[in-house]
């Protein structure tokens, strides 16, 4: 009985740990923690299957007609909600500064609550993060948008639909999640039909 009880506790704890890892990538911790109590570490596989079938959505929170008349590149910047992500893409933007005509910062919503574009407006925390990131990157008037879906697919769909010339993303990822799902950055590099610039590790 003791061995069985210990095994059940280890199983449940591993599921909660997996949920915590997913939460660091924009997912709802409590949703996956509840699933993890039953599915254990296999909750990551449940998430992966769901993410593959999720349709990409986007909502532009702030647009702008202001452009750099001397620039010639429209840039979409993908941020993951972390300070490291902002630092990483910042290194790329320093190099591109004079060439950028138009810039939009995007970040992914919590997948489990973003069932409709209308819900995007309720994610004040993510919107505030993007506004603060724009200030930090020296592009205070940058356009801002929220996306949902599998990160690489959602970014590419948004870039292509809105006719961006270049996609800039951070070099950052959790080794456990990347090992299971595959690196978002690697998938972007393989499948993108527009140029992708990857910032250095922060």
Domain boundaries, the chain: 2-53, 57-198
User: What is the C-alpha separation between 13 and 9, in angstroms, rounded?
Assistant: 6
User: What is the C-alpha separation between 164 and 55, in angstroms, rounded?
Assistant: 20
Query: 106 by DSSP, 3-state: which?
Result: strand
Query: 58 by DSSP, 3-state: which?
Result: strand
User: What is the C-alpha separation between 154 and 189, in angstroms, rounded?
Assistant: 14
Let me know: does 15 contact 41? Beta carbons within 8 Å. Answer: yes
pLDDT tier for residue 173 given thresholds of 50, 70 and 90: low
* 187 pLDDT higher than 60: yes
User: What is the C-alpha separation between 21 and 178, in angstroms, rounded?
Assistant: 11
Q: Which residue has the higher pLDDT, 18 or 114?
A: 18
Q: Which two structure tokens, joined as six digits, stand for 125?
A: 């925390």
Computed over every residue of the chain, the mean pLDDT equals 77
Instruction: Return the exposure string of 43-76: e unless at least 16 CB atoms fall within 10 Å of the residue's CB, then b.
Output: bbeebeeebeeeebbbbebeeeeeeeeebebbbb
Tens-digit pLDDT profile for residues 31-73? 777 877 777 777 666 666 655 556 667 777 788 776 777 889 9
In this predicted structure, which of 75-79, 89-93, 178-182 has the lowest mean pLDDT? 178-182
* CATH node for 57-198: 3.40.50.620
Mean pLDDT, range 3-8, rounded to an integer: 80
* CA–CA–CA angle 126, 127, 128 (5° rounding): 90
Query: 19 by DSSP, 3-state: which?
Result: helix
How long is the chain? 202
Question: What is the DSSP pairing of strand 57-62 with strand 143-148?
Answer: antiparallel
* 80 pLDDT higher than 80: yes
Query: 157 by DSSP, 3-state: which?
Result: helix
User: What is the C-alpha separation between 37 and 103, in angstroms, rounded?
Assistant: 42
Sheet of 166-169, strand order: 57-62, 143-148, 100-108, 73-79, 166-169, 196-198
pTM score of the predicted model: 0.69
Q: What is the largest distance, in Å, between two alpha-carbon atoms of the chain?
A: 73
Q: Tell me 193's DSSP state.
A: S
């Amino acid at each position: 009985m003791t061995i069985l009880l210990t095994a059940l506790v280890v199983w449940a704890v591993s599921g909660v740990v997996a949920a915590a890892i997913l939460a660091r990538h924009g997912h709802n911790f409590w949703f996956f923690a509840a699933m993890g109590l039953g599915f254990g570490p296999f909750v990551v596989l449940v998430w992966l299957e769901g993410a593959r079938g999720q349709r990409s959505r986007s909502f532009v929170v702030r647009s702008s007609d202001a452009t750099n008349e001397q620039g010639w590149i429209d840039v979409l910047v993908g941020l993951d909600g972390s300070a490291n992500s902002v630092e990483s893409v910042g290194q790329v933007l320093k190099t591109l500064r004079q060439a950028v005509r138009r810039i939009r910062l995007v970040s992914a919503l919590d997948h489990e609550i973003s069932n409709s574009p209308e819900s995007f407006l309720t994610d004040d925390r993510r919107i505030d993060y993007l506004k603060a990131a724009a200030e930090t990157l020296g592009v205070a008037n940058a356009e801002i948008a929220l996306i949902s879906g599998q990160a690489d697919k959602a970014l590419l769909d948004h870039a292509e639909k809105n006719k961006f010339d270049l996609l800039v993303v951070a070099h950052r990822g959790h080794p456990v999640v990347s090992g299971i799902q595959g690196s978002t950055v690697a998938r972007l590099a393989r499948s993108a039909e527009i140029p992708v610039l990857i910032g250095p590790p922060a």
